[in-house]
A and B are shown apart, each in its own frame.
Chain A
Amino acid sequence: MDLTSINWFKYGSPVSFFPLAGRMARGFGIAAALLALAGLWLGLVVAPADAQQGDAYRIIFIHVPAAWMSMFIYLVMAAWCGISLTLNARLSAMMAQALAPTGALFTFIALWTGALWGRPAWGTYWAWDARMTSELILLFLYFGYLALRHAIDDPRRADRASAVLALVGAVNVPIIYFSVRWWNTLHQGASVSLTSAPKMAAIMLIGMLVMTFAAWFYSIAVALTRVRAIILEREKHAAWVGELAEAAQ
């Protein structure tokens, strides 16, 4: 298909985006489920126990993908907030609104699985080290974003106020990412980076990457489904919304 023949701005309007989002959500949802099954099989069955940590290390297959998604979703959310502020585009604000709960969920999962891994690996569920503390702040940023939205009745005003909060909070993401380098922390440094060979066995790395794609596609599917609900909720007085709701699916 010739990509230049598509009018991309068409999908900037909620009415044409709504059915597209439905089709995309289904595709990404199915892909996420298949990847998660493959990743769980690799991580829990195929990959051998770790020489030092035994089977406790298997928490990595959720912990690392969840932690990556918690930061990545925040950056995507902040980018949509930036677009919504500068272009005053309401669909962009709705995308940010749709991403926040899933970002908060992955942040909580990263903290929870980290605690359950920290206990056997380090002897403690929690420490106020730089990596963990900044990840906890990320959770509060997501909560703050959602609470601020909730507190403002006018959706367009809520868009603007929460976008400013999200953009200011984005400074925390590089702090989380580089915390293990900037400070001498309990949390270990990166096992995987773009600049050096991964410091882990190939099968473990593959399992972790498969789970990361599963988490990524899941996030896309859930956010697109949520944004469809948000479109209907926010545009319910527009005539086309009733027609969409009438349509089968």
Chain B
Amino acid sequence: MSLVDFFAMGGYGGYVWGAYGLTALLIAAEIVAVLARLRNARSAARTDEVAR
């Protein structure tokens, strides 16, 4: 099986990669967002500690 065949998915490439692609993008976005939220919460808590 060639790489071209793999990406063509027997003519269903648009459907298959549309499904896998957006899923991968959304999962990646959630990971980035949740790590950023934890980082922000940490620095906010640290600022609070210094203020105290």
Seen from chain A, the residues whose Cβ lies within 8 Å of a Cβ on chain B are 44-45, 49, 54-56, 58-59, 62-63, 66, 101-102, 105, 108-109, 112-113, 116-117, 119-120, 218, 222, 225-226, 228-230, 232-233, 236-237, 239, 241-246
**Measured CA separation A244–B46 after assembly (Å):** 9
- Which of A112, A117, A222, A241 interacts with B22 by CB under 8 Å? A112
- By the criterion CB–CB under 8 Å, are A222 and B44 in contact? no
**Measured CA separation A174–B6 after assembly (Å):** 38
Interface CB pairs A-B, < 8 A, 13: A49-B10, A59-B20, A112-B22, A218-B27, A222-B30, A222-B34, A229-B34, A233-B41, A239-B52, A241-B48, A245-B43, A245-B45, A245-B49
- Which of B6, B11, B15 interacts with A117 by CB under 8 Å? B15
- By the criterion CB–CB under 8 Å, are A232 and B26 in contact? no
Count chain A CB atoms within 10 A of each CB in B11, B37, B40, B52 and give the residue with the most. B37
**Measured CA separation A207–B19 after assembly (Å):** 16
**Measured CA separation A225–B39 after assembly (Å):** 10
**Measured CA separation A245–B44 after assembly (Å):** 9
